[in-house]
Amino acid sequence: MIITFGEMLLRLSPPGYLRLPQTQTLNFSFGGAEANVAASLAFFGKSTGFVTGLPDNDLGQMCKAELRRWNINTDEIVTRPGRLGIYFCEKGVSQRPSKVLYDRSGSVLSQMQPEAFNWERILRHAEWFHFTGITPALGNNMEKAVLDACRTAKKFGVKISCDPNYRRNLWDRQTAENVLSQILPYVDVLITNDGCADEVFGIRPAKQSSSDELFPEDYRSVAEQLTDRFGIKTIALTIRKSISASCNRWSAVLYDSKKLYTSLEYTLQVVDRVGGGDSFAAGLIYGITEGYEPSLILEFATAASCLKHSVEGDVNFVSAEEVLALVQGDGTGRILR
Amino acid sequence: MIITFGEMLLRLSPPGYLRLPQTQTLNFSFGGAEANVAASLAFFGKSTGFVTGLPDNDLGQMCKAELRRWNINTDEIVTRPGRLGIYFCEKGVSQRPSKVLYDRSGSVLSQMQPEAFNWERILRHAEWFHFTGITPALGNNMEKAVLDACRTAKKFGVKISCDPNYRRNLWDRQTAENVLSQILPYVDVLITNDGCADEVFGIRPAKQSSSDELFPEDYRSVAEQLTDRFGIKTIALTIRKSISASCNRWSAVLYDSKKLYTSLEYTLQVVDRVGGGDSFAAGLIYGITEGYEPSLILEFATAASCLKHSVEGDVNFVSAEEVLALVQGDGTGRILR
Amino acid sequence: MIITFGEMLLRLSPPGYLRLPQTQTLNFSFGGAEANVAASLAFFGKSTGFVTGLPDNDLGQMCKAELRRWNINTDEIVTRPGRLGIYFCEKGVSQRPSKVLYDRSGSVLSQMQPEAFNWERILRHAEWFHFTGITPALGNNMEKAVLDACRTAKKFGVKISCDPNYRRNLWDRQTAENVLSQILPYVDVLITNDGCADEVFGIRPAKQSSSDELFPEDYRSVAEQLTDRFGIKTIALTIRKSISASCNRWSAVLYDSKKLYTSLEYTLQVVDRVGGGDSFAAGLIYGITEGYEPSLILEFATAASCLKHSVEGDVNFVSAEEVLALVQGDGTGRILR
Amino acid sequence: MIITFGEMLLRLSPPGYLRLPQTQTLNFSFGGAEANVAASLAFFGKSTGFVTGLPDNDLGQMCKAELRRWNINTDEIVTRPGRLGIYFCEKGVSQRPSKVLYDRSGSVLSQMQPEAFNWERILRHAEWFHFTGITPALGNNMEKAVLDACRTAKKFGVKISCDPNYRRNLWDRQTAENVLSQILPYVDVLITNDGCADEVFGIRPAKQSSSDELFPEDYRSVAEQLTDRFGIKTIALTIRKSISASCNRWSAVLYDSKKLYTSLEYTLQVVDRVGGGDSFAAGLIYGITEGYEPSLILEFATAASCLKHSVEGDVNFVSAEEVLALVQGDGTGRILR
Amino acid sequence: MIITFGEMLLRLSPPGYLRLPQTQTLNFSFGGAEANVAASLAFFGKSTGFVTGLPDNDLGQMCKAELRRWNINTDEIVTRPGRLGIYFCEKGVSQRPSKVLYDRSGSVLSQMQPEAFNWERILRHAEWFHFTGITPALGNNMEKAVLDACRTAKKFGVKISCDPNYRRNLWDRQTAENVLSQILPYVDVLITNDGCADEVFGIRPAKQSSSDELFPEDYRSVAEQLTDRFGIKTIALTIRKSISASCNRWSAVLYDSKKLYTSLEYTLQVVDRVGGGDSFAAGLIYGITEGYEPSLILEFATAASCLKHSVEGDVNFVSAEEVLALVQGDGTGRILR
Amino acid sequence: MIITFGEMLLRLSPPGYLRLPQTQTLNFSFGGAEANVAASLAFFGKSTGFVTGLPDNDLGQMCKAELRRWNINTDEIVTRPGRLGIYFCEKGVSQRPSKVLYDRSGSVLSQMQPEAFNWERILRHAEWFHFTGITPALGNNMEKAVLDACRTAKKFGVKISCDPNYRRNLWDRQTAENVLSQILPYVDVLITNDGCADEVFGIRPAKQSSSDELFPEDYRSVAEQLTDRFGIKTIALTIRKSISASCNRWSAVLYDSKKLYTSLEYTLQVVDRVGGGDSFAAGLIYGITEGYEPSLILEFATAASCLKHSVEGDVNFVSAEEVLALVQGDGTGRILR
């Protein structure tokens, strides 16, 4: 079973491209980086479990019900009195960016003791453990919980992946760097993007091929520096070139301490880019656990996250067959009958 | 200007009679006991102002915009970093009750210092000051703010009305009794319902006319006891007989230390009963400030709150003309062309 | 073919029980007294045609398309530059009445010349001609058009029915009485309600059986007076007792110059009462043209209009089979599978 | 684990009270008598499993996901090429009945071989087995599957309950009687309603207490005859008095071969009556498996199904706590905060 | 009158870009290749009639009502007990393709006898007869019905057009080739696309101008081969280059046995591509029956289908004036006031 | 305070890209060129007032409430019996243009006397006065009202801006030229677009840089001619290149009688282009009144109107901070968290 650990949030979005002051209804869904990864893996057909803390009220129960609907094991979810974090999300379009308003402080997970989770039981038979930097960013308790989980995973030989996912409204850069520097040495696979390595660790491309634009090859030095600094063998970086909120170019690189693999680049008409990185992480973990070749791992992850941008909400409602069809070159959008 | 003081909340409700686990969209509106009273008075044509603390984000700005739309003065609203309280409301029907899930702890108003509001400036030229027991229930700071406001109002000869509005999830009975016992001596008009006086102060009808049912006359002793205990001259009590969540009988009494006035009783098909008491308070304040006779004050307030039950949301979108038409006997619902 | 003649309007209604200032969307449909009658007759299986003037724009074309969808012949509809009348309709509930805001002045039909319609061609082979008092109320031109149509119908032996349908915002009582007094002598079947005869002609029940309430028998004298004054052989009156906007009692009487027939009384939970009278008229015309016995004619018309109150919009989407099932006593609402 | 076995259907309903020709959108949900029972039991906190055949397409996967969301075990669901049955449901109101249009013929379950289900594995450790008459009505294969299941259940000492649920569009009365007469001898608990016993078996009350109305006591003889004929020890009958599609009176009786228990009668404002009988069956099974006294079993089942009528859709989104609150007398619909 | 013959389907689509597992509502509309062609021609102002078999239930009646709304003659539609075919359609976007899930097997038309249609009466005075390959693909009966219709059309000198519209889920390639090879010799105008000729008949461009891309001129050999093989004088081919599901390039060629005409190429932002080919067929038939020059016929058909891609649903709600405005070069989308 | 003067309209739009005959609901909002400008300025933080005439009914009150919500002073709005103008707006996409159907004739403002507005009181302390050519196009009365306002503004030294905004369905070109020629000499800042100067005044670029396309520099001569003819010191022109209804290129020039400033060009994915010019005017007035340098004034106005194209409705729900962020180069649409 692939285990992910993190916070689940209620997402409230105005319909279409309406801004918050224009709407009388909000679309209601659930998300959260690690739940998104678990959902995507479950849709690909993997056995997955999600570990979190939820409030012992209707919203907490609805989270669990939704996780079950996504075919995710919920046995190790802990419920406590408290609140569920919320975020409001206006979808951007053209030159207007998406805008996220968080109302997550004081959430039940952030208030939980690290001992609330029985990592021995959770990870003993696990195949993989994944989390993002958002979990330790929730405070000292969750920082400790992540470290406990990583140590336990290592003990049982469970592979660990992490997406640092820096959020400046949760912690400052310095704290993030300190905490992540303790955690990353446990990590086998680091999944991040072109901006995050620079923002948190000051790691940036050694040189730039052209003045205007970065090319995948430019990211080799970023991967090498991350490998050198934290001893992580596998580094994957997504590369987003935002033409506008509606049009992005999207590709990725994978570095396995030896070779840098570069993916196809997709031009995306963006329906919803929240969860784009999570769907990439899910694709990567899928490819690795399925035993794909590195280049196919990378193409699968990139195609999976390409498709995510065409799906509303946080979660990538896409099957492995659909991803493979895109990998095999059918991105033309002809009707499937 | 009539000033009300309290907390504003974001209300999120499933459409129609859906329960939370059944919905993918939520209707989005704003409410809060004292804002509801101000809105209703503004729709009746009175000059009104609302005093509160709001977060300095989009939701806070939307609250202010909505208050302006309702024609309420927002000059004395204070904005600060923080969060807006939220409540989720499932509408009941038939034997299934409405269900409210609060997510209001840590709201920006509850965290504010009492000195944040300049009561001298706010109340110097005011005509009336209204609040409910929810405001002091938000914590010591707001308890002090209410007492400051009451003292200032008294100094300027501003009439004060209060609806104790006991909420057990905000404070326990004993705290409520202690705090309200300090506040009520400042109050000129007490607006409450048949259950609240018993629940907080242990004041109940001296006798009951029949074994099955209370009649308006039975509430005289409740009013007398409240007058005796807190020295409040004017007491209004709403009387709700819930046949089911969809069908209520609704009436009220008014006691002016001399005489008990009893209203017509309406049989309501309930569209939304949230804000029913607030619309009654607004009707009562309207009647008093317009100089109506006591019996018309009471009938106006009862008819106003009768109509509220036919309006979706917290706020009573009804004009004084519409209330008067109902007072004058047109409750038959014939089409107005 | 049954021909009806009148104005078609665009109806815009807030969803559910929302009031206009609460909504961001409006439900969009078409209606109008005479179009409603034609639609109902078409759903009963009769051959029908509707005569009107419509603007030569998208809205006019949509009216025609909707009439075709309802299976109504549109060959004699005239199009001209101009505007379509509009009405906004808030649905009432409980003690709050429905509220209609008309924006129909200057409509294309009201500006049309009476000669625009070729009554010889329209009525030569018709089975029936129906209109309401709203048509002549649109102004002198339509007053003349109605008189032309009535004379032509008489010439060809076509039966004429009229529902005076007094609208005080279209004409004053005196004008209505004058104009209708010219028209009614042509009419074979008069369809009206308990209030209209009094309001326009000052004709009211000679006596009242009880102080509180009118009984169907009380309406005999109203029917007799109408027969005496205008020489109309068949008079049908609907009787509405509004308990509230949501609950009405509904019955009718039919007077054939000899006998007064009285229908069953239905207690209605009102979904939408606009078009209630029109659905009764359609039921009556159906019963007469099908050669039913007077008592069945009346029960069919009453049951048809009973069902209309359960249907959203102006138009009675109900089949003759469904009406007959109700006439035969199945008003219990058990599921039809 | 409580096992239920039957067909799942896609339900498509116009919003609100719209009729099919009036709508452009359909509400989309899943239902089916036995799935409804399993869902309700799961919401009460029981371990449940649902056995069925589903198409191997997106709709089949969505059914499974929804069952998981409802916390129902789906391990024994079989998927095959084929189609999912559909039903269109117009909600009735006032005198207009609900109208169901079935499009279920040729469904994948009805085409399945009886051997598709491994009853030994399914029932060996089960606590209860429930099905309705709809399952054998799907054809000879499912008739045989039900008999196989009943025999296996008996072998393992699993209690069996059945709701005959006669549907005249699936089979004729004679076939139903023949098939059910083979099945019912296996049944421990028969759950049916006042009409069905008469319709299928010609069993009706021996006498009627009054000319107008049946009283619960009148149903004793129906229960006795069912016990005599099929040797079923426990018989429960729901009693619906339809005042209209919107207003029903609802009660039930329980006969344990010795005593007839009669429940409270509820006056329902009907939101959605589909699944009313299923929610009663779930309540009954819950009460029995929890070891309640017979009178509480009956009151729990009746209150559960009372609440179902206030919930949209087939499925009773109600907890055991909510049912018990109603049993304990709080049917007044006061707001739960 | 232009007659089209084929199956009508109920189309159910999630709103916006939602996938099926994400939606609780479905947009409800009707479509079907030949009905789409008739509707488009009716909107262009032509007299049209649609021939089909429909179920004798509410859905069948709604189909007829919708056809009437589109101004299509429904006199020759036959109703029978049975079911209406359904299709679920997820709209694709970006790299994610549209996905159609058919539930059309056992539809009433596919079960009908070929004799159900009176081709002598239907076609005696017709101007044109159009069908697609979907109709004979429904089975032997419809294959025979199409052949009967073609023979009758030929007898009366009615022009015949056909769009082979190969659907692999309805028949296999070999059956399609066999059946179509019998039918096509009757056809005067063949309307197809770049993929279909290859897929069914193995006819592909003789050479390709460039390695990357086909140019309109490359299709001359396809047209010539079709002409040679089936003796069809007029061949029109649409050419779609799918950049993604959201962005297509669209053009067409027309071959009149002498000359190959090539249209403008449009870059489409795709709103809904279902019905794109049907709208082209309608434009072509319109142009021919209006007596346009070949180049204008082609440009009209291409522009009509270009606009279809901007319209939701199967049906091209566009007037001839709007198409001509685009033909005359106004594709800039400036607001029409 | 910045004062704008003009007509407010009710806007009714089908959801998404539906055409009018496809919809059953209409989105309901308010707009009007001068109200849009005032709203945008209020969102930028300026003190603004809107002057108009409104009907004394619910729609008029809703207009005022909406203006208050937008933070616009409504003290000088006059209410009278009459109607509110309406427009129906189908949103275009791809090659299909947006289509506006006006129903504004006979509106209350167009019927009002010029003396209805007290310009002395309105403008005495104003900072700026803005109107568009639509206001005098409403008829002689409003033509006189505009002239009165301009003279009064000049007297008090209030700056005047005007957007001629030619609407051919309101007046013919000759009348427009005559009337505007009287008004423009009062104007300090003229805001128009590349088409309007040509259409009304026959003023077009002296030469064109290339055969295909106009470049910003080409508009210098247009600005010079306008300055010469009407003595207007400041001329701003927006330049729209419509690739399709969905994709526009957008830029602007500003001429201050000395220098021509040219803005960045944005490639827009158009959500709603109604109000694009109004948002530019608001941006320009904001920049001037904030004392920005000419180049920043122009970039601010261009960026503001760029963002408007991403916002639904007439009104630009965008803050000054958001505009400045775009001016400073962040048009990439990355998520703001």
Residues of C with CB under 8 A from a CB of F: 12, 15, 20-21, 23-29, 57-59, 61-62, 65, 83-84, 86, 88, 99, 101, 103, 105-106
Amino acid code (one letter) for F8: M
The SS3 of residue B231 is coil
pLDDT single digits (tens) B263-305 = 999 999 999 999 999 999 999 999 999 999 999 999 999 999 9
For chain A, helix (H) and strand (E) counts, in that order, are 11, 15
Q: Do A26 and B12 count as a contact with CB atoms less than 8 A apart?
A: yes
- How far is B8 from D88, CA to CA, in rounded Å? 42
Q: Give how far E102 is from chain D: nearest CA, Å.
A: 9
Q: Quick one: which H or E segment has residue A53? A: strand A53-55
- The number of angstroms, rounded, from the C-alpha of B34 to the middle of its chain's C-alpha atoms is 6
User: Which residue of B lies nearest to A60 if distances are taken between CA atoms?
Assistant: B21
Q: Are D332 and B246 an interchain contact pair (Cβ–Cβ within 8 Å)?
A: no
For the record, the structure tokens of F138 come out as 């409403």
- E110: tokens are 């596919």
Q: Of B233, B236, B289, B225, which is closest to residue B262 (Cα–Cα)?
A: B236
CA distance F263 to F327: 10
CB C221 within 8 A of CB C205: yes
Task: Tell which residue, C266, F323, B17, B21, has the closest CA to residue D70.
Answer: B21
Give the C-alpha separation, B169 to B156, whole Å: 34
Instruction: Strands of E58-137 (E only): list them.
Output: 72-73, 78-80, 85-90, 99-103, 128-132
Average pLDDT for F54-60: 98
Residue F79 host element (H or E) = strand F78-80
**Cβ contact, residue pair F59, C27, below 8 Å:** no
A9: helix, coil or strand? strand
Q: How far is CA D330 from CA B40, B244, D279, E55, in A?
A: 31, 9, 19, 48
CA distance E137 to C308: 44
Q: Do C17 and B312 touch (CB under 8 A)?
A: yes
Local structure of C60: helix, strand or coil: helix
Task: List residues of C whose CB lies inside 8 A of any B CB.
Answer: 16-19, 21-22, 92-100, 102, 167-169, 242-247, 270, 273-274
- Secondary structure string (H, E, C) spanning D144-178: HHHHHHHHHHHHHCCEEEEECCCCCCCCCHHHHHH
* Neighbouring chains to D with at least 3 Cβ pairs closer than 8 Å: A, B, C, E, F
C39, C23 in Cβ contact below 8 A?
Answer: no
Nearest to E35 by CA among E59, E7, E54: E7
- Which pLDDT belongs to residue F205? 84
Work out whether the CA dihedral B168, B174, B179, B182 comes out positive or negative. Answer: positive
pLDDT value at residue C190: 97
Provide the H-helix boundaries in chain F.
33-44, 58-69, 119-123, 134-137, 140-155, 173-183, 196-201, 220-230, 276-289, 294-308, 320-327
Can you read off the two tokens belonging to residue B162? Answer: 């209060």
Closest approach of C231 to chain A, Cα-based (Å): 56
Contacts of A65 in chain B (CB under 8 A): 21
Distance between CA B301 and CA B282 in Å, rounded?
Answer: 7
Out of D21, D97, D244, name the one closest to residue C269 (CB): D244
This prediction's pTM: 0.96
Scanning the structure block, which residue is given the tokens 């989720």? B88
Q: What is the per-residue pLDDT for E217? A: 81
pLDDT at site A337 = 78
Give residue ranges of C with CB < 8 Å to any E CB. Answer: 65-66, 68-71
| Minimum-distance CB partner of A100 among F312, F318, F335 | F335
Cross-chain CB nearest to E333 (options F18, F22, F245):
F245
Task: Count the neighbouring beta carbons within 10 Å of the beta carbon of residue D33.
Answer: 27
Place of tokens 């984000």: B57
Buried b vs exposed e over F200-224: b needs ≥16 C-beta within 10 Å? bbebbbeeeeeeeebebebbbbbbb
Measure CB to CB from residue D24 to each of E28, E59, E105 and give the nearest one: E28
Residue contact A68–D71, C-beta within 8 A: yes
What DSSP string describes C238-305?
EEEEESSSSEEEEEEEEE-SS-EEE---EEEE-S--TTHHHHHHHHHHHHHHTT--HHHHHHHHHHHH
The structure tokens 């405070």 sit at A139
Element (H, E) at B333: none
Chain B residues contacting D via beta carbons under 8 Å: 16-19, 21-22, 92-100, 102, 167-169, 242-247, 270, 273-274
pLDDT computed for residue C209 by the predictor: 63
Q: Residue B318 gets which letter from DSSP?
A: -
Domains of chain E (ranges plus CATH)?
2-234 (3.40.1190.20)
**Nearest residue on chain E to A329, judged by CA atoms?**
E95
Q: Which residues contact B129 (CB under 8 A, 6 or more apart)?
A: B2, B3, B4, B5, B123, B149, B150, B153, B158, B159, B160, B161
Summarised one tens digit per residue, pLDDT across range C108-158 is 999 999 999 999 999 999 999 999 999 999 999 999 999 999 999 999 999
The predicted pLDDT at position C210 comes to 61
Q: Which residue of D has its CA nearest to B96?
A: D333
Using alpha carbons, select from C115, C111, C165, C164 the residue that is nearest to residue C139. C111
Nearest to C27 among F25, F29, F57 (CB): F25
Q: B337–C245: do the CB atoms touch at under 8 Å?
A: no
Q: For strand E25-31 and strand D25-31, is the pairing parallel, antiparallel, or unpaired?
A: antiparallel
Q: Cα–Cα distance between B226 and D66 in angstroms, integer?
A: 54
Residue A329 is predicted with a pLDDT of 85
The C-alpha atoms of residue F317 and residue A20 are separated, in whole angstroms, by: 9
Substitution target from F19, F20, F23, F24 for chain D, most D beta carbons within 10 A:
F24
pLDDT per residue of chain D (337 residues) written in tens, 0 to 9? 999 999 999 999 999 999 999 999 999 999 999 999 999 999 999 999 999 999 999 999 999 999 999 999 999 999 999 999 999 999 999 999 999 999 999 999 999 999 999 999 999 999 999 999 999 999 999 999 999 999 999 999 999 999 999 998 899 999 999 999 999 999 999 999 978 888 888 888 877 666 566 678 888 999 999 999 999 999 999 999 999 999 999 999 999 999 999 999 999 999 999 999 999 999 999 999 999 999 999 999 999 999 999 999 999 999 999 999 999 987 777 788 7
Searching chain D, which residue's CA lies closest to the CA of residue A318? Answer: D58
Smallest CA–CA distance, residue B324 to chain F, in Å, is: 18
- Which residue, chain included where needed, has tokens 């009064």? F152
Contact A311, E220 (CB under 8 A): no
Residue ranges of chain B whose pLDDT lies below 50: none
pLDDT surpassing 90 at residue F146: yes
Answer yes or no: are the C-beta atoms of C34 and C48 closer than 8 Å: no
> How far from D154 is each of B98, D1, D135, D143, D158, CA to CA, in Å?
44, 16, 18, 17, 6
Distance between C95 CA and the closest CA of chain B, angstroms: 5
D-chain CB neighbours of F23 within 8 Å are 24
- pLDDT for A260 equals 96
**What pLDDT does B198 receive?**
87
Q: What subunits make at least 3 CB pairs under 8 angstroms with A?
A: B, C, D, E, F
* Residue E288, C-beta contacts closer than 8 angstroms, at least 6 positions apart: E159, E189, E234, E297
Q: How far apart are CA F164 and CA F230, in angstroms?
A: 13
> Beta strand pairing status for D260-262 and D247-255?
antiparallel
> Residue B240's closest chain D neighbor by CA?
D334
Nearest CA in chain E to D15: E25
Dmax of chain A from CA atoms? Answer: 54
From E23, which residue of chain B is nearest by alpha-carbon distance? B24
The rounded distance, in Å, linking the Cα atoms of B142 and B135 is 6
Q: What is the pLDDT along chain A (337 residues), one digit of tens a residue?
A: 999 999 999 999 999 999 999 999 999 999 999 999 999 999 999 999 999 999 999 999 999 999 999 999 999 999 999 999 999 999 999 999 999 999 999 999 999 999 999 999 999 999 999 999 999 999 999 999 999 999 999 999 999 999 999 998 899 999 999 999 999 999 999 999 978 888 888 888 877 666 566 678 888 999 999 999 999 999 999 999 999 999 999 999 999 999 999 999 999 999 999 999 999 999 999 999 999 999 999 999 999 999 999 999 999 999 999 999 999 987 777 788 7
Using alpha carbons only, how large is chain B's radius of gyration in Å? 19
pLDDT of the residue at C196:
86
Nearest chain A Cα to B64, which residue?
A21
Residues of E in contact with D62 (CB under 8 A): 20-21
Please list, residue by residue across D115-144, b when 16 or more beta carbons sit within 10 angstroms of its beta carbon and e when fewer do: eebebeebbeebebbbbbbbbbbbbebbbe
Best of A18, A19, A24 to disrupt the C interface by mutation (most C CBs within 10 Å)? A24
CB contact under 8 A, A66 and D68: no
**Cα distance between residue B7 and residue E252, in whole Å:** 64
Q: Could you tell me the CA-to-CA distances from B26 to B11, D316, E15 in Å, in that order?
A: 9, 20, 17
Chain A residues with CB under 8 Å of B59 CB are: 20, 88, 101
Q: Which of D24, D83, D101 sits opposite E57 (nearest CB)?
A: D101
Q: What is the mean pLDDT of chain C?
A: 95
Residues of A in contact with D63 (CB under 8 A): none
- How far is it between the farthest Cα atoms of chain C? 54
Residues contacting residue F33 through CB under 8 Å, at least 6 positions apart: F6, F132, F134, F163, F165, F275, F277, F278
pLDDT of residue A81: 97
Cross-chain residue pair B65–F65, CB shorter than 8 Å: no
How distant is the Cα of F191 from the closest Cα of chain C, in angstroms?
A: 32
Contacts of A66 in chain D (CB under 8 A): 69
> Strand E266-269 vs strand E247-255: parallel, antiparallel, or unpaired?
antiparallel
CA distance B244 to chain D (A): 4
F197 band by pLDDT with thresholds 50, 70 and 90 = confident
DSSP state of A151: H
How close is the nearest chain C Cα to the Cα of D169, in Å?
A: 8
Task: Please choose, from the candidates E216, E230, E222, E224, the residue with its C-alpha nearest in 3D space to the C-alpha of residue E295.
Answer: E216
Mark yes or no for CB contact F330/A245 under 8 Å: no
